[in-house]
Structure 1
């Protein structure tokens, strides 16, 4: 089964994302910070990562940059999912290696389509 790692500090957002992804037949693992994400990534490689930008400690942008620099994780698609959705935010995410940028509130159908497209 395909696995998605959600890095999101909002329980409500995590539940919404998880519900959409599980209904699409995906396994979901979630953490609430960049530090926890790095620990998970050292133990298990998901098929895709969904990142919030505003996280405690390390930002999602910083984590995205680290994921894409690391030879062990750089091939994992990263989707930034954030309320920060200006063109500058999207450009910044793209510059740091994000494969896609979804604004919140998310459209469940759009999320699932994007995830399936990125993990083929």
Structure 2
């Protein structure tokens, strides 16, 4: 089976995802924030990464950007998982032609999964 890095700052959510993955035969590497996750992603080269969106210091979106910029991790598939059962808005900067000008577009990410037993925004099955 696969080795999966799970980056989640909430211990209960981390253990829930860990339990589902281990019960399915996967090896799980745990990280409690993006900084620790980046280090473990580089050192362990997981087959996939599951990350939370809202984390202290570095958001899940910034963590994904860092992973994709690093040659050692840029090809690892990333799954963004959040316990928030509501749309998440993200401002994505876009460069325009011209000197130093830029604009921002709004991207809304809608939840795709129903909560499992009312505990998480991700369901497995």
TM-score computed with the length of structure 1 as normaliser: 0.74
Give 4+ residue runs of structure 1 displaced > 3 Å after superposition.
Answer: 101-104
Residues 43-100 of structure 1: CA distance to partner in whole angstroms, max 9, x if unpaired? 11000000001111111110001111212111100000012641645x467xxxxxxx
- 2:23, 2:38 → 1: CA distance? 26
Q: Unpaired segments of 5 or more residues in structure 1? A: 94-100, 110-120
Larger CA Rg, structure 1 vs 2: 2
RMSD across aligned positions (CA): 2.1
- 1:74, 1:6 → 2: CA distance? 16
Does the 8 Å contact 2:48/2:76 carry over to 1? yes
Matched, 1:106 2:107: no
| Greater RCO, CA 8 A, separation 6+ | 1
Partner of 1:44: 44
Partner of 2:87: 86
What's the CA shift for 1:16? 0.8
- 1:87, 1:69 → 2: CA distance? 23
- 2:75, 2:113 → 1: CA distance? 19
From the two aligned structures, give the one with the greater helix fraction: 1
Does the 8 Å contact 1:54/1:60 carry over to 2? yes
TM-score computed with the length of structure 2 as normaliser: 0.71
- 2:47, 2:71 → 1: CA distance? 15
Q: Unpaired segments of 5 or more residues in structure 2? A: 91-106, 115-119
